[in-house]
Amino acid sequence: MVTLLAVTGPASLTAPAQAASLTEVTGFGSNPGNLRMFRYVPDGLPAGRPLVVAMHGCTQSAGGFDDETGWTTWADQWGFALLLPQQQSANNLNNCFNWFEAGDIRRDAGEALSIKQMTDRMKADVGSDPARVHATGLSAGAAMTNVVLAAYPDVFAAGAPVAGLPYACATSVVAAYSCMNPGTDLTPAAWAAKVRDAHPGYAGPWPAVSVWQGTTDTTVVPANLTETVEQWTAVHGTDTTPDATDTVNGYPHAVYRDSGGRAVVETYTITGTGHGQPVDPGTGAEQCGTAGAYILDADICAAYHIGRFWGLAEDGGGTGPGAPAQRAVIPGTAADDGYVKASADGAGAAVGALEATMGAAVGRGADGRHNRTLLSFDTSVVPDDATVTRAHVT
């Protein structure tokens, strides 16, 4: 059965709600890291939706990292709140998060605690789902992503460092430069011990991690992808041999699963790309962002694929322009209706009849990616002057 959740006609058109905007929040806690807090909340966002914490890179700001990276696009479309911490020059002259300072990367201390306090404030103000809090960032923001994942694995369900470094790679400025280039080579067990030591006694669950890296990045060299994968696969108790590989928009993609088959780590290797956040400007279904300094037009929207990995797109949840004017239920006859399916494993398209109930796979596969199924159905019950704007398969 296909249920039309939104059918609009000329008489039922409504004007879009006023667009949300980036706003600063003060008084969110003791703020030992002396950070600023900004948030973007789509208009009409209900309680119980996910929260994404997005952290800028050096020389950047919250206001230059929201629309430009595409995160506000998916916040509106998929329905989640966006928190953007911002560094201050009083803490770091280049506005880098201090991912290499021992006092800023420990649980309940410094910048790590400030970000956790911001997260608590978002839960209180917006009603964000505490089980669906995610963190991402670029460069120093990516390193700080690994910091909050390690220090607060009980708060963050997943993360995505883009051009980042493993947790606790450095605890001084000199060591930080060495971590960035040429990189620091430790065993997976040694890397994992650093994460476990960040929250002693915590036994899981651990955050799932999507790791992104440009192959021509000379600021944070590609070796850091390898070390980050070693760190998080070891934390999850799995090895560094990918369980699935494919290409996405022409770029190598690998998935690492735990013993239960859950995708716990994935990597995107952005060949021929330097230091920055990959975006794909345009209006296509998977496009986003605006190219600029350290925001690179790579023909792939990192925010889109990260959000899919986290499951942000699974239930829609967008806060579009007003409620649907009417609802119609279209019955389907399994023997008559068919499907075309694109499988998550990269196999060729399949076709079949809906009466073969195992055929039309919809949703997340064991590797953490999504199957996509197109269904045909009878639309004779839809009024002539109406437009089908959304459908839900039940």
Catalytic residues: 139
Q: Which residues contact 116 (CB under 8 A, 6 or more apart)?
A: 108, 148, 151, 152, 155
Contact 49, 319 (CB under 8 A): no
Tokens of 239: 């090895």
In terms of residues, how long is the chain?
394
Contact 340, 297 (CB under 8 A): no
Q: Which residues of 145-174 are buried (b: 16+ CB within 10 A; e: fewer)?
A: bbbbbbbbbebbbbbbbbbbbbbbbbeeee
Residue located via tokens 């990516």 = 142
Contact 111, 104 (CB under 8 A): yes
- My answer on whether omega of the bond before 182 falls inside 30° of 0, hence cis, is yes
Q: Pick from 233, 56, 39: which is nearest to 144 by CA?
A: 56
Measure Cα distances from 322 to 163, 184, 317 in Å: 39, 52, 13
Half-sphere exposure of 327 (CA within 13 A, CB side): 5
Query: What does residue 81 show for φ and ψ, rounded to 5 degrees?
Result: -90, 150
- Measured distance CA(265)–CA(237) in Å, rounded: 11
- Measured distance CA(208)–CA(255) in Å, rounded: 11
- Measured distance CA(322)–CA(46) in Å, rounded: 13
Using DSSP's 3-state secondary structure scheme, residue 33 falls into coil
Tokens of 135: 């963190």
Cα(first)–Cα(last) distance of the chain, in Å?
5
Tokens of 193: 């011990």
Tokens of 382: 């839809």
